[in-house]
Amino acid sequence: MASHPVAPGRGFLFALCVALPMVLGACRGQPSGEPPVVVIRNMHDQPRYDPQAGSGLFEDGRAMRPLPKGTLPREAPILVEVAHGTTETGDWVLEIPRPVVARAGGPERLVQRGQQRYGIYCAPCHGAAGDGKGVVSVRAAEVGAAALQATTLHDERIRHIPDGQLFGTISNGIRNMPAYRHSIPTEDRWAIVAFVRALQLTQSKGLTP
């Protein structure tokens, strides 16, 4: 014999209709003088230091720590010459900005850093000597994809463009070359510019970089 579901009684439906508005009304966030119920207390009331507060955790007694060397606060003004390689009027800067050289520890350190970064990001296409004969370019020539071959960095046009324009090319890319602004930090892009200039100088004199 088949059974049929029993419909809820009228009393149950009446109680539900009365209780539901009461429950929903309790969720409206009415002011209360009682302390809030916090399930995870350590996430609600965490210990912290106020600005300019003291702390026995550090030797100098300061809770606010000085900036690590070589870092800049988010609120620091942006130097257009460093960030974009241009002047305020939009012209390319002729030389690597002095603040970049100073933060790197001098021209030699900047070139050394640039050589390391160049070997990672640029040499596969442009070659270790900057002659455009990196492994990617060689392979492109073998398969007949001449459009994928990199330009030699010793081209007279590239030798005489401003440093800011070379920085902008690394940052934004050109033709088949992708933009590296998201892959290489700003200071490292300037370091690559410094190494490319050193590379051009040594190759023009027949020296080994």
Q: What is the pLDDT of residues 139-174, one digit of tens each?
A: 888 887 777 777 888 888 989 999 999 999 999 988
Q: Give residue 2's pLDDT.
A: 53
Mean pLDDT lowest among 27-41, 102-116, 134-148: 27-41
Q: What is the dihedral of CA 83, 175, 155, 209, to 10 degrees?
A: 60
Q: Is the model more confident about 17 or about 85?
A: 85
Structure tokens at 208: 């080994």
Q: Which CATH superfamily is domain 80-204 in?
A: Cytochrome c-like domain (1.10.760.10)
CA atoms within 13 A on the CB side of 115: 12
pLDDT category, 17, cuts 50, 70, 90?
A: confident
Q: Domain residues of the chain, as ranges? A: 80-204
pLDDT of residue 163: 94
202 or 15: whose pLDDT is higher?
A: 202
Segment 48-60 shows an average pLDDT of: 87
Report how far Cα 38 is from the mean position of its chain's Cα atoms: 38
pLDDT band, residue 135 (cuts 50/70/90):
confident
Give whole-number Cα distances, 114 to 5, 40, 57, 127, in Å.
79, 50, 39, 14
Average pLDDT, the chain: 82
Q: pTM of the predicted model, to two decimals?
A: 0.62
pLDDT digit string, tens, across residues 21-37: 666 655 556 677 777 77
CA distance 137 to 140: 5
DSSP 45-107: S-----TT-B-TTSTT-BSSPPPPTT---TTSPPPHHHHHSB-TTSPBPSS--HHHHHHHTSH
Return the half-sphere exposure (C-beta side, CA atoms, 13 A cut-off) of residue 135: 5
CB 150 within 8 A of CB 136: yes
Query: Phi-psi category of 76—alpha, beta or left, where left has phi over 0 and alpha has psi -120 to 50?
Result: beta
Query: Cβ atoms within 10 A of the Cβ of 180, count?
Result: 19
